[in-house]
Amino acid sequence: MDNYVTGAVIRSLRESKRLTQEELSDRIHVSAKAVSKWETGKGFPDVSLLEPLAESLGISVIELLNGGAIQNRNQSFNMFKSKFYVCPVCGNVIQATGEAVISCCGVTLMPQEPEEMDGEHQIQLEPVEDEYFVSMRHPMTKNHFISFLAAVSDQGIQFVKLYPEGNAEARFKTSRVKRLYAYCNRHGLFELKKQK
């Protein structure tokens, strides 16, 4: 089953907590035999047990479903390592500054990997006083459009959500902006690294 907890994950997390199958079973009020079945792949925990199971193993339900604890090694965080996640169901956009397990509409989202700009996905940048006017010559139909534009500096992210049949353009303050991103709903994320 995709996106459901596996026996290997339960066993690994249980052992890392130094719990026996019986100790884990006592914590979540099931038999040790049930835990053994889960760990050997002969069964799955009922969905009603996911929360107490995750709590007993010291992680969140999302981490349990993902296969383990997420540890953000980006403690000092670097805005240029930010990641964008886009829900394929509702179009929701989520931005994170480090490792994360993110889900939306029941789907675990993967971070978008920026691609090099191509002929159809060129980000145009025009300085206007203390702002950048960012635009793209790209279709903005209901089925094919630029979903968002973003400007990233070492201080934060400026973000503009776009909609079909609108214009693929936005204005961003120029202060310390080093990267610009555009997300096409068909072709993914594109990046422009601003020259110094």
pLDDT of 50 reads 85
- What's the pLDDT tens digit per position in 11-60? 888 898 899 999 999 999 988 898 998 888 888 888 888 888 888 988 88
Predicted confidence (pLDDT) at residue 86 exceeds the cutoff of 50: yes
pTM for the structure as a whole: 0.65
Average pLDDT over residues 109-128: 91
Compute the mean pLDDT over every residue in the chain, rounded to the nearest whole number.
86
Q: Cα 6 to chain center, whole Å?
A: 21
Is pLDDT above 70 for 74?
no
Euclidean distance between CA atoms 151 and 83, whole angstroms: 13
Could you read off the pLDDT of 14-24 as tens digits, one per residue?
898 899 999 99
Predicted local confidence at residue 65, as pLDDT: 76
When pLDDT is cut at 50, 70 and 90, the band that residue 79 belongs to is confident
Contact (Cβ atoms closer than 8 angstroms) between residue 83 and residue 111: yes
